[in-house]
Chain A
Amino acid sequence: MGIPEALTTLLAEFPYAVYGSILVGVLCAVLGVLVVARRVVFFGAVLTQVSLLGIALTFIPPLDLLGHTGGALSVTALAALLLSGWLTDRRVPRDAVLGVVFVASVAVRMLVLQKAPQVEAAEVENLMRGDILFVTPGLFLFTLLLSAVAFALMALFARPFTFLAFDPETAEAQGYRTRRWDRAFYILTALVVAATTHLVGDLFVFGFLVVPPVAGMLLARRVRGIVTVAALMGLLCPVAGLVLAFILDVPATPAIVAVALVCLSGAWAVARLRR
């Protein structure tokens, strides 16, 4: 099967998979520029695991009333709220705090799933991996709405977010309440990660929070250039990955991330040649 034919089939059979993965790709890639710049990449990884814990908890009554999306969103938002306080505590290193939350999320999730009633292994596997191909219209619309809100907030708060990432001391001296803005950034990131992890899985979300921004940093000499490169990768890599997965009959998420990594390798080679 050729690429045009595969793409046509994908758009006809799984339109929300294509649109959803593009949406998540662009959103995570753009947000990821700030995540990488603030040196909180591990925070993104931890949030994906917390989000999975939130989904796992909804297998237990009465938390099942929240639904998988509600569980992921509420647990991740709560974790981000707590983490934003713990991460500014200087007695314990930031990565150690994140490490503890990471381990706790994975361990509790495994225990919960082991003991949860009426859980089938295949269902759990799909939820944890993110079943891109079977994204429902409702879930897609929810993510679209959340993406619009997230992009609007990123644009509205661009000044405090970038100032605090660049020079928090002076930002505070200028009257920005750094703790409050840090908390806002962490919660925004948490909500995006929670909603998108449920849609496309932890590997996709964490991959696109990191890989496109790093490629942008290798290729571009201006911040706008970095954001543009990251957004373009967020737009194109999911489509290319889905097509590849369809043609080669391999799982979609690893294929999408693999395409992003190939692009990153290309960016690295170009950066080396330029030097």
Chain B
Amino acid sequence: MEPLVEFAGVTLGYGRTAVLRDLSFGIAQGDYFGLVGPNGAGKTTIVRAILGTLIPQAGEIRFRPLGNGTVRIGYVPQRDSVNLVLPYTVGEVMLMGRYRDLGLLRRPRAEDLRAAEQALDHVGLSGVRGHPLRELSGGQRQRVLIARALASRPELLILDEPTNGMDLSSKSAILDLIARLHEEDRLTIVMVSHLLDDVANSVRTIAIVDREFFRAGEVRAVLTAETLSALYHMEVRVESVGGSTVIIPGRARGDS
């Protein structure tokens, strides 16, 4: 099957500096794809390339056009990256998900309002439209940002560290929501995270990224003790506890 997004010998970087070299992998339609690696490894660089905000220095990124000739991408940023100085209501934030279609001046149509309302309903937050975003909990804020991305009716949903800094129940709820979007709505999902346990137990395929290290494939084939030990320069064990994969860090190499 032809991938929805395909990296063919892609080198990415900023200015004249290459950060990641010669990447070749694909994200299949309907896949739940995890992008993991240490902080500063280049995960965001790959996301920016998929979003089209970073042009490859070499190689090609191919998209397989769906229904209307393009791949519509919904993006969910890290929730701490949004600026909460002004008290935008959830309704106002939701409409930002439709700005691409509205342009500069067109007033939101019934269709835009309906898309925003349906997306909020879909993430279980139909009653908060008039609330300021900054007054919601971290988990609710994350749901609103997911709903805003859904309001643009995407075929590919990219989430950047969606569970970062969340307590156990909020994290579990967000991961359940993403799994539901993948299974019930058949959305292609790319989840970026440095939290290996979250990704290991959620995604179908995975890419492990570091500057001099890149491996992509089925979770079981890629997420091995050997690979992770090489990536993090420490002993790492991968075990199964009650059907879930658990990553257990050991002693850092060089520690006495």
Contact = CB atoms under 8 A, between A and B. Distances in A.
> Which one of B53, B89, B132, B158 has the highest number of Cβ atoms from chain A below 10 Å of its Cβ?
B53
Contact of A169 (B52, B81, B104, B148): B81
A170 B86 contact: no
B104 A157 contact: yes
B75 A166 contact: no
Interface stretch (B58-66, B94-102, B189-197, B205-213): B94-102
B83 A166 contact: yes
A163 B92 CA distance: 10
B89 A173 contact: no
Interface size class of B (residues with CB under 8 A): 20 to 34
B77 interface: yes
A58 B230 CA distance: 65
Interface string B105-128: 100000000000000000000000
A221 B104 contact: no
Given A36-B85, A222-B132, A223-B86, A170 B75 contact: yes
B82 interface: yes
Contact of A172 (B53, B132, B158): B53
A33 to B, nearest CB: 8
Given A37-B85, A173-B51, A223-B88, A159 B99 contact: yes
A176 to B, nearest CB: 8
Contacts of A165: 83, 86
A167 B87 CA distance: 13
Given A156-B105, A221-B132, A222-B132, A163 B96 contact: yes
B104 A170 contact: no
Contacts of A167: 77, 81-83, 96
Nearest to A39: B85
A160 B99 CA distance: 9
Interface in A138-193: 156-157, 159-160, 162-163, 165-167, 169-175
Contacts of A222: 87, 89, 132
A23 interface: no
A169 B53 CA distance: 10
A226 interface: yes
Given A157-B104, A165-B86, A226-B86, A170 B132 contact: no
B19 interface: no
Given A169-B75, A174-B99, A159 B87 contact: no
B73 interface: yes
Nearest to B148: A170
A219 to B, nearest CB: 11
Given A221-B132, A223-B92, A175 B100 contact: yes
Interchain residue pairs A-B with the least CB separation, the first 8: A173-B75, A169-B77, A173-B51, A167-B82, A37-B86, A174-B100, A37-B85, A172-B53
Given A170-B77, A223-B88, 12 more contacts: A36-B85, A37-B83, A159-B99, A169-B75, A170-B75, A170-B76, A170-B148, A173-B51, A173-B53, A174-B99, A175-B100, A223-B87
Interface of B: 51-53, 73, 75-77, 81-83, 85-89, 92-93, 96, 99-100, 102, 104-105, 132, 148-149, 152, 158, 160
Interface of A: 33, 36-39, 156-157, 159-160, 162-163, 165-167, 169-175, 217, 220-223, 226
